Amino acid sequence: MKFPRTAKIMGHQSDAAPYAAVFFLLVIFLLIAALLPVPGVSLSLPSADDLSGAGQPNIAVAIDSSGRLYFANQMITGAQLKTSLSNKVTHASAPLTLIIEADKTVSYDQLLQLTLLARDAGITNALLATLPRVSSAPVTP
């Protein structure tokens, strides 16, 4: 005897409202996450091509457009930076190179003051950090 089948698998129409609600919630979460602040200092480094890097141990110091100094992910004053750099130099096994991550708008005077501060701490070599150029077109000076 054959029994009639009353229950149909996937025989009803699915409602799109729950899927749309989940989709809009995901969009809202992504928009909120994009608005959250990113930790760190916003720097606009200059770009250059074919520069050699530091071949020896180095220490990075950042300076932003308003002249604030950052060392080891902390905002620091000039006197504190000199003390920290002196401590690093005394504990280093090889001569250190100072990598200056300076914003494009930092004045030459501020860069000079930072290199003189590093020299007083015992660091004789200083390099400016740059970004590689985006285009491969030759740049005429």
Q: pTM for the whole thing?
A: 0.62
Phi, psi of 126 (to 5 degrees): -135, 135
Average pLDDT over residues 13-20: 80
Percent of the chain, pLDDT > 90?
Answer: 36
Largest Cα–Cα separation, the chain: 101
How far apart, in whole angstroms, are the C-alpha atoms of residue 105 and residue 101? 12
Tokens of 111: 């860069």
Spell out the alpha helix ranges (H) of the chain: 17-35, 78-91, 108-121
Instruction: Please write the tens of the pLDDT for every residue from 49-91.
Output: 666 666 778 889 999 988 899 998 889 999 999 999 999 999 9
What is the fold of 47-132?
Nucleotidyltransferase; domain 5 (3.30.420)
